[in-house]
Every structure is written in C-alpha cells, then in structure tokens.
Structure 1
Amino acid sequence: MKTFIDQLFAQLPTQNAPGLALAVVQKGKCVLQQNYGLANLAENTAINSSTVFDIGSTAKQFTAACVALLIENGDLNLEDNVQTFVSNLPDYGYPLQIKHLIYHTSGLKDYLELAYLRGMDEHAYYNTAYALQLLLHQPDLNFVPGDEERYSNSNYLLLGHIVTQVSGQSLREFAHQHIFEPLGMHNTHFHDSFAEITPHKAVGYLPDPKGGYQEFTSKIDVVGDGGLYTTIEDLTRWDQNFYDNQLGKQNPDLIKLMGTPGRLNDDTAFEYGFGLILGNHQGKTVQRHGGAFAGYCAELLRFPKEKLSVIVLANLATLSPWTIAEQVAEVFLGNAPLPSVAWAPAHAPTSPSLQLSKELLTQYTGGYDLGAATPLEVIQEAGQLLLKYGAEDILQLTPQAEGIFTEPEYNIVIEFKQSKGARVPFMVFRTPDQEIIAAKVPINHHVDIEGLKPYTGSYYCATLKVVYDLFVTEKGLQLSIDFNPPFLLHITDTDFAEGKIGSFRFFRNNDRSIREFTLNTGRADYLQFIKL
C-alpha cells in the first residue's frame, strides 16, 4: 500500500520544494503517515508529523464544535437571534438565527469579499474588530435568511465572536480548554495574533512566475472562519473523536449534531452540517471540508460508514489536497486510483523545455466560450501562449505536450482538441473543481471610446466607504480602487458590465446621464455606488 502511495506522489518535485503531510485513519487507527517536501525552503527543514500548517476554512468545523458544546450545555440554542450576541448588528427585517450562521443560510455578505472590494487583499492587515465593522455597515442581506444556502466567511466570523460573548473566553481559549486539551491536540490553536511565533510552522508558498517559489505572509488577525494552526498528527486525534466522542458530556449526540444537514425555509435539506460538507464520493457517504489561505491548503475527507479518513495538509497554494485525498481514499477503498493530472500543475513554473512552432500556437489563439459574460481569450506573445481570463487577468501557459498546457497559480489544465472541419475548434478547461468544454468564438477588440465616456466618473459606496474611479483608455473602460492597479470592465449589454470583481448594472437619470451602479459579486450583492 505504501509503495503504491509513493508512486502516486512521484510527480511531486522532490528537491527544494514545498510539499505536504498525509495521514490515513482507518477504524480509529492511523495506518499511514507520509511527508513530502520542505516546510521551510530557506532553512531546508523537512515536513514531518509535527509540522504546523494553517488549514484555512477546514477550521470551520472546530468553531462549529465550540458552538455545539455550548448548545449541549444549554448556553446557546440554534433558534437564538444573532443580534442578541452581536451588538449593533442591523435589524434586517427577518429573524437571523444561530442556525443560519452554522448552515450558511444567513444571507450575510462575506467580510473577505467586502475587504477586497475596499481595495484590501490577503496581504493587508486587519483584525476581527475591523471585519465586524464591515458587516455592521451593511444594511441589507444577499437574501432572506433560510431561503438559500450560500457560503460566507462572515457566518463563522460571527460564530467565533458569539462563542466569546457566551463563554467569556476568547475562541482560542475556549477551543483549547474544551477541545484541544481533552483530545491531546497539543500543537493546535486558533492563531489570533499574526505576529506570534509558532514553533515548527511551515511557510506558505506560491509559485514564482520566474521559477521557484515565493513566500506568502498574511497579516489578517481574524479567527472563526479560519485561522487554525494544527498538525497532521493532531488532526488524526480529532478524526478519531468522531467515532468515540470524548468532548463535553462524551455523548455521541454531539457528533450526530455536527453531521446533521441543514434545511431551508421550504424544508429542503442540503449538504452542509456543522462546518462539514455532507455528500458522497463514488456512491459512498462523506463528511469533508477543505481550506486554502495564504499559501496553505488542506482537506479532511471522511467516509463514516467505512471508518476511513484521509487528511492532507500542504504549504503550496497550487496543490489540490481535495483531489489528492480522493485518490488516496480510492486506494484504501480498493478501487482504481483516479487520474492524477488534476494536481500535476502544482509543480513550480520553469522555463518550458517543450518548444512549439509559432504556426501551431497561432492555431490555438482566439476566444473560447466558458459560459461567462466575457469569453476567455488565448493570445500569443514572444513564442508563448497567454490566457486572458476575465476582463484583464493575463496568465502564462506552459506547454506539457502538443495541445496540452498548464497554469500553476490557479492549477489550470487546458487541452486543445481537434475535430473534423477545423484544427482547433474547442478546448477542455480543467481546474480541481470543474471541467468545461469551451467552443471557439470570435473576439471583438474594437473599443468605442465615445460610447464608454458616459460611464466615467467617481462613484461612492456609503456602506463600504470607498470611491471607485471609472475612466476610458485605448484599452476600454477601466476601474481603479485607491492605489490598486486598474482593471477593465467589459460592457456586455446596455448598462451592464462584467469585471474581475463582479457584475455591474448602471442606472440613468431622466436626461440619460448615469447616476449610479450596483455591484454583485456572488458573496456580496446589491452594493450601491452613487456617482459624485
């Protein structure tokens, strides 16, 4: 079994590269624990079972467990109103309850999205108080609580805050006393101070476009939706508790609660529990959750009926631990492993050794319809293919074989296909989460500068306290936020536009002049920007 797993991981770079820790837990025992790559490239420190990783959103199940313990103790109820514990949270006109936060049915805008829309990214510093203020200034929701299930990090940010309000302890303190200490998870904590030094912590990495890797350091001091530091060894202890609960009153009902799916207002059940995605893989019931943040990525995949779990912790953003976990699980379930191409692009980008002719590359260029408002465009420059994804993002494609290209930053695999009547009529666009067949379509590069001028100007969003500047260049209509690089907006229809941050709809006065626009991003909708 170990030999087969090693063969599966043979495609990982073996020298001077980040990597991962892997554990397989079967019937309550860790039957395999393997480590690959380096925790710290500068110090040449290898990953081992005690290496500490940030597990991103995989942390949500621990915040949910804290809430479950408070419910078990009678200190909290799923029907409690959120405003009882979060002062100054607006009254949205509908009941907003703890269950809506747990199951992502609240309609709350995602605070990470709101921060990004203010011009901040994962490199910026902000803390829980700042994130809460972003939420408190949003007067409305994306939808009526309970009508939909839509993932939002704000839900678990608030749950972490509520744990503190109810218990009188920080989330870090409560989780340590009631979860980590009882289970012997001595190298696990909610990391609520980015400047705090953590022994044996892996460094998170991104591929460097010039080759090799670059460090990714986050300064965000927010926990609840993420922010958990842990080890592969500690997570095996956590997994074992799902079969023999040692927390709280040691009642199996606690574990049952965590695996209970949510329900919408119309009583439709959906596949999310207490910080756990509830679904199936190859016809088998699973509980799982992944995470990706600041160069780290993780997956905890559990087959409760088979009593099998696979845990993957990585310190390279372009690895796909969810795919890796599924492949390893297939081996232990006695099935043939899935194709491993989905996470092959995790290698560091290098100068391509495969040289393709200019004529062949030209055949691949053009627009491809992915079903979005703006076609994806493949262009050729200096003997290389570039991918224009969205309004302006340009990514370099590395040839792996004739017709097959990869892009490591977003873990993209592109395969150009041939059929009768055309050399390259379509492409297959793959990421770890999806596969899309994209037909080739024409691209219109004409820029109607005069037609775009009415959209120009400065627009203010009162709920975000930010100004967006729209202006026209020879490239088209562009948008800038503070000192961030501008990006293109693509007019898809009269007064509708698409950009890298979302969808725009413009509204006019009686004299046909533009007065405002609304911005929808999926995780933050109905944001109003008034023209100054």
Structure 2
Amino acid sequence: MAMSRMVEIAVGLALIACSAIGQPKGPADPTDRKLKAKIDLLASKIVAKEGPGFSVAVVKDQKILLCEAYGLANVETGTPMTTETVLNVGSVSKHFTAWAILLLEQRGLLSTADDVHKHLPELPGYGSPLTLAHLLYQTSGLPEYLKLFKYAGLFPSDHRTFSDVHEILKAGAGLEYPPGTRWSYSNTNYALLAEIIQRRTGQTFSAWIQDNLFGPLGMGRTRVPESEVAIVEDRAESYWCSEGALKKYITNARIPGPTLVYTSAADMARWMLNFRNNQIGGAALFEKLCTPGRLTSGEEAPYAMGLAQGQYRGNATVGHAGSDAAFVSDMTYCPQSDLGVAVLCNSANIDPLEVRNAVLDLVLFGETSLKRTESKTRAAPPFPSGEAGALRERLLGTYRLEGGGDLVCLSVDGEETWGTYLGQGNVRLIPKDGGSVSNAEGDIVVRALAPEAGPAEKIELNLKGTLLTASRIPESTKEPAGPAAVTGLYYSPVLGAVYSITREDGRLKVSQRRSVGTHDLACAGKDILVCSLGELRLARDAAGDVTGFTLWHESVGGFSFSRVYLGGKPARG
C-alpha cells in the first residue's frame, strides 16, 4: 500500500528454480554464474547477519537465469528465506487486479467503459461519468483512502477493511477533479475494482483470482488471505530498523485489490513467463494492460493498467514497485529483450531497486561490478543549538506550494524538528551543510530561499528529485472573533471523527485524539485557518456564530464539520 505516496516507476517479473517448473537442468550459462556471484556479493553487503532479507528471480527469453533467496523469513524463529517463501508484494498486486478485470471483459461480464455506478450503484453521483477505465488508469479523481483514514483518525494498526473505504465514499467523499482530466495515484481505485470483481463473479476476490489466475498457472503458493488470522504456509514476517533496533511491523489492513497478494519468487516466475507465452489472457490482453491511458486533453497518462511505463538506461520497461507493512518489492519487465526481474523483501531497510539495478546492469550491459547506494538506515542526530538551531527557527512555519495549493508545515516536537506534507505522516529533519535540513536518507531536503536573514518567506523543497517552491503563510494569533468564537468540538459525519479546536500557550490548535494528532493553526484570511492538514474554512449563522467548518485539502477535497455543544449551546452575551 504502499506511498503516502507518489508512484514509483518500476516493473517486473519473477522466476523459479529450474526444477520447480520442469525446465531441464544443465550446467549454468556464464551469465548465470556471473549474475549469481554478483547478487551473492550484494546480499552479503545489504542483508544483516541473522536479519530479514529478500528473494530474487530473473528470467530472459523464457529461460531462468537466477532464483535465489537470502536472509531470514522470520527473525524470531530463525526461519531462512527461500524461493518458496511468500511475501506481501504490496502495490505490485495492482496489475493482478487489472488482469482480472480484463479477463472478465474478455468473458463478457463487464466492460472497462462501464460507468462505476452500473456495478456500485450506492456510490454518490459525481457530476460526470466515472468509468472502470478511469479506475484502472488512476484518472478517476477519487481521493486516496490512506489519506481519508488519516483524516478519520485511523492508525495503520487499526483493523481496516473495504467497508471502511466504502462507508466514507458512500457518505459523500467527493472527487479531487473531474474524471479523466488529471492523473493521481490512489489505492481507492483498485479497492473498488476488487469489489466489482466480487459482485460480477459471485465469489470472493481471493477465491476468483485463485481459480482463474494463480491456479491455472500452477502458482500454488500465491494467495490473497481473506483475514488477518488466515493460515498462509511459509509466510514471511516484515521488519524495519528504527533507532538501531529491529522491529516487526504488524498491520491489520484487509483491503484487497491495491495490495495483499502474497507470493514467492518461484510463483512469480510462473506468472511472469505468462507475459510472453500468453497462457492466460492472450497477447491482446497483455498489450492492453501495458498501454497507458489518455487524459481528456489528449495527453498520455504516466500509468497503464496496474503497471507503469518507464525506462532503464534507454531500455523500455513496464511494471510496478510495492510497499505494505515493512514489505517492499519491485517487478521490472523489459519487453524488447524479454527480461524480467522480481525482488521481494521483508525489510523496509532493503532497497529492492538496488538488487534490480544490479541484475539489469549485468544482463543488459555486462557490468559485473556493484554500484552501491548509501544505507537507508543512517541514524538521525539531535538538532543542535547554535547556528543550526537558528536555521531551524528560520524555517519553522506553514507554507503553501506555488501552483498547487498543498501545505507544508515545519514544526518542533520537543528537541526534534519535523516536516509534514499532504496532511499525512511526519518526517524528522536534521541539519545539513549549506543552510538546509533533510530527512535521514537525504532524499528530502528543505532550504530557505529568501530573505537572507530572519524567518524565510520562501523555501525550496527537493522531494526525491522533484523541486518545489513554497511561500510562507503569514501567521497571526488573532482569532476571527475572540477565543469563544472558534474553540470547541466539531464532528464530520463523512469521516466519523470529532476534531477539537483549543487555545494553548497563546496559540490556536486543532487536534483529534487518535492519529490526526495536534496541529498549530494560523489565520490566513477572513474566517480561514490553516495547518498542515489543510484549510479550515469557517461557517457562521445569521448571528455570526461559528457553526462549523470545511476542512479543505486539494488532495482529498473538503470535509464538512458541524459544531457540537456538550450540554447545549451556551447563551450569547
């Protein structure tokens, strides 16, 4: 489920040991031996002793070059990772869902041109047609449910199912933009597609995809668990390293379609060989799956059906990256050379792209040497006082991105500095040389642009290579009509959440007891308060009393909150 997140363009394929799919055994090709030696060396550098690891499979020209596994599937029990170990491949699951939709279209059970309301009539009207193709191409305008859950106060560890997504959408969560006019990555699209598959087939998504995709290809290990307590043979646990300690990531999310396919390197080989041999679906289906969508402007979208098109050193690719819990994965398939790579990791601190790139560099370009990247687990030191502390004070505040309207908030929690973007999650920031701050990985950097001294009026954000500029929102502690005019409790029926506006230490704050947390509010205009969650646009009655607000953020739309008075509304005056 991977990305509070921006689409990662990658793709893939996987393989299995020769004996596992009945291919003849024989002496390894020189390329095979070099590839194994290279990945063995890489694994020795990125897999900690007695720690979690990864499995990798490589196929080319319908032959298996490599299928190996490294590290532990379960650290507590010391169970080793094997090519039969099953891992959650996160958003790599999306192309399985898209493939299932196209199979149903082949069989006449639906059309990708169908309006979504034909299959889900209970959803509200959106003012213009919303089709299955819009869902597949990620051009629907439907908000990301992970963001909706954040605003509703749900934690990642909460038990979350499709019904949670369904209820928020039925209650009136609107579109970010008219369908087909823009592109934005949203897991909501593929959650709805999985539900449509269930309604059209009369089977659970798990059962249908098992019977019609995985089973016919002999993918006996692959499944979509129907509950968090389902027994999945040889399932790996997932881990991440935090503050120098290895921790197990536990999630109770059960929303199939965008994620939740558990598979092995061996099974992925069987599946991805189907890209060329067309045993399930045929060549026309695969071609449609890989063809990008088009916006109403005629511009090509950066996404096909559950797959993204890209390039690696001049070679065209299709595929997807994945992330769910602390599982991370990548599939990359190069159609022109019939080369596929699948990397499945059970540690968020292992970069599957590093493994994938090592494979592509050798197979496509004959490069046997490793190109190492800096560790992703570098410790973040405390933010010091003095010059770096002054830099922090210069940057603190709320900013609006130029051209997009999104809000960025830089704030302090104790001795730590944090940045919040898109109203989701926080990233800890540490000082860097050159008058900037960054996350521990160094791929998110913030620096002041102007003026040269005092609070920055403009900042530059480098978000993993994307440069953005944001302007400070002038802050004022003056409230629209005094403390009593705004402070109180507010309820949103769409989110099912209660927010509280309070005054603490001379500042207005908005909070929610669960995952929303507490955020400083700044006045940005008449009856407009802003924080990293978005804009709070106040509503008043004829007497001028605040009766509620609309919480607006471009990435999720607007949510209406009504004021709640415990014990009755107080008398005026």
TM-score interval for Structure 1 and Structure 2 normalised by the shorter chain? 0.7 to 0.9
> Which residues of 2 match residues 183-262 of structure 1 at below 5 A?
183-209=217-243, 211-248=244-281, 251-262=282-293
TM-superposition CA deviations, 1:338-389 (whole Å, max 9, x none) = 96436x2147x59x7xx999767557644459975446468994xxxx4321
Distance 2:268 2:371 in 1: 27
**Residue of structure 1 in register with 2:72 after alignment:** 38
3-state DSSP of counterpart to 1:299: strand
Distance 1:452 1:317 in 2: 47
Given that residues 104 and 150 in structure 1 are in contact (C-alpha distance below 8 angstroms), is that contact kept between their aligned partners in structure 2?
A: yes
Given that residues 476 and 522 in structure 2 are in contact (C-alpha distance below 8 angstroms), is that contact kept between their aligned partners in structure 1?
A: no
Q: 1:156: Cα distance to partner? A: 1.0
Q: 1:51: Cα distance to partner? A: 1.4
Distance 1:531 1:314 in 2: 47
- Normalising to structure 1: TM-score of the pair? 0.83
**Residue of structure 2 in register with 1:528 after alignment:** 560
**Residue of structure 1 in register with 2:88 after alignment:** 54
Given that residues 173 and 557 in structure 2 are in contact (C-alpha distance below 8 angstroms), is that contact kept between their aligned partners in structure 1?
A: no
**Residue of structure 2 in register with 1:264 after alignment:** 295
Which residue of 148, 155, 178 maps to 2:212?
178
Residue 523 to residue 37, structure 1, CA distance change in 2 (3 Å): farther
Q: 1:267: Cα distance to partner? A: 2.9
Given that residues 497 and 503 in structure 1 are in contact (C-alpha distance below 8 angstroms), is that contact kept between their aligned partners in structure 2?
A: yes
**Once structures 1 and 2 are overlaid, which stretch shifts more, 390-399 or 226-235?**
390-399
Percent identity over the alignment? Answer: 26
**Residue of structure 2 in register with 1:390 after alignment:** 420
Residue 222 to residue 362, structure 1, CA distance change in 2 (3 Å): closer
Which residue of 148, 156, 159 maps to 2:190?
156
Given that residues 419 and 428 in structure 2 are in contact (C-alpha distance below 8 angstroms), is that contact kept between their aligned partners in structure 1?
A: no
3-state DSSP of counterpart to 2:157: coil
Given that residues 409 and 532 in structure 2 are in contact (C-alpha distance below 8 angstroms), is that contact kept between their aligned partners in structure 1?
A: no
- Normalising to structure 2: TM-score of the pair? 0.77
Distance 2:226 2:133 in 1: 25
**Residue of structure 2 in register with 1:146 after alignment:** 180
Given that residues 239 and 348 in structure 2 are in contact (C-alpha distance below 8 angstroms), is that contact kept between their aligned partners in structure 1?
A: yes
**Residue of structure 2 in register with 1:293 after alignment:** 324
TM-superposition CA deviations, 1:211-247 (whole Å, max 9, x none) = 2122121112221121111112211222211111101
Q: 1:530: Cα distance to partner? A: 2.8
Q: 1:529: Cα distance to partner? A: 2.0
3-state DSSP of counterpart to 1:254: helix
Q: 1:67: Cα distance to partner? A: 0.6
Distance 1:402 1:40 in 2: 43
Distance 2:515 2:529 in 1: 20
**Residue of structure 2 in register with 1:466 after alignment:** 497
Distance 2:295 2:126 in 1: 18
Aligned residue type for 1:212? A
Distance 1:6 1:448 in 2: 62
Which residue of 18, 23, 46 maps to 1:12?
46
The reply on whether 1:97 has 2:131 as its aligned counterpart is yes
> Which residues of 2 match residues 319-468 of structure 1 at below 5 A?
319-322=350-353, 324-334=355-365, 340-341=372-373, 344-346=375-377, 362=389, 365-368=392-395, 372=401, 373-374=407-408, 376=410, 381=415, 386-390=416-420, 411-413=441-443, 433-434=464-465, 436=467, 453=483, 454-468=485-499
Aligned residue type for 1:389? G
Aligned residue type for 1:236? A
TM-superposition CA deviations, 1:494-527 (whole Å, max 9, x none) = 2545544444444556766544333344542122
- Structure 2 residues not aligned, in runs of 5+: 1-33, 402-406, 565-573
3-state DSSP of counterpart to 1:184: coil
Q: 1:475: Cα distance to partner? A: 7.4
Distance 1:100 1:416 in 2: 35
Distance 2:42 2:462 in 1: 20
Q: 1:54: Cα distance to partner? A: 0.9
Aligned residue type for 1:516? G
- Structure 1 residues not aligned, in runs of 5+: none
Give aligned pairs, total. 514
Distance 1:16 1:406 in 2: 31
TM-superposition CA deviations, 1:429-464 (whole Å, max 9, x none) = 776x4365999x999999668988344222222222
Residue 478 to residue 364, structure 1, CA distance change in 2 (3 Å): closer
**Residue of structure 1 in register with 2:10 after alignment:** none
Q: 1:77: Cα distance to partner? A: 0.9
Q: 1:193: Cα distance to partner? A: 0.9
Given that residues 428 and 435 in structure 1 are in contact (C-alpha distance below 8 angstroms), is that contact kept between their aligned partners in structure 2?
A: no
Distance 2:194 2:446 in 1: 46
**Once structures 1 and 2 are overlaid, which stretch shifts more, 483-492 or 31-40?**
483-492
**Once structures 1 and 2 are overlaid, which stretch shifts more, 111-120 or 333-342?**
333-342
Distance 2:531 2:206 in 1: 38
Distance 1:396 1:482 in 2: 22
- What is the CA RMSD across the aligned residues, in angstroms? 3.9
Q: 1:131: Cα distance to partner? A: 2.6
Given that residues 143 and 186 in structure 2 are in contact (C-alpha distance below 8 angstroms), is that contact kept between their aligned partners in structure 1?
A: yes
Distance 1:531 1:201 in 2: 47
3-state DSSP of counterpart to 1:25: strand
**Residue of structure 1 in register with 2:98 after alignment:** 64
Q: 1:268: Cα distance to partner? A: 2.4
Given that residues 420 and 427 in structure 2 are in contact (C-alpha distance below 8 angstroms), is that contact kept between their aligned partners in structure 1?
A: no
Distance 1:114 1:264 in 2: 25
3-state DSSP of counterpart to 1:300: strand
Distance 2:386 2:339 in 1: 51
**Residue of structure 1 in register with 2:548 after alignment:** 516
**Residue of structure 2 in register with 1:121 after alignment:** 155
Q: 1:203: Cα distance to partner? A: 0.8
Aligned residue type for 1:265? T
The reply on whether 1:165 has 2:199 as its aligned counterpart is yes
Distance 1:338 1:478 in 2: 50
**Once structures 1 and 2 are overlaid, which stretch shifts more, 489-498 or 35-44?**
489-498
**Residue of structure 2 in register with 1:27 after alignment:** 61
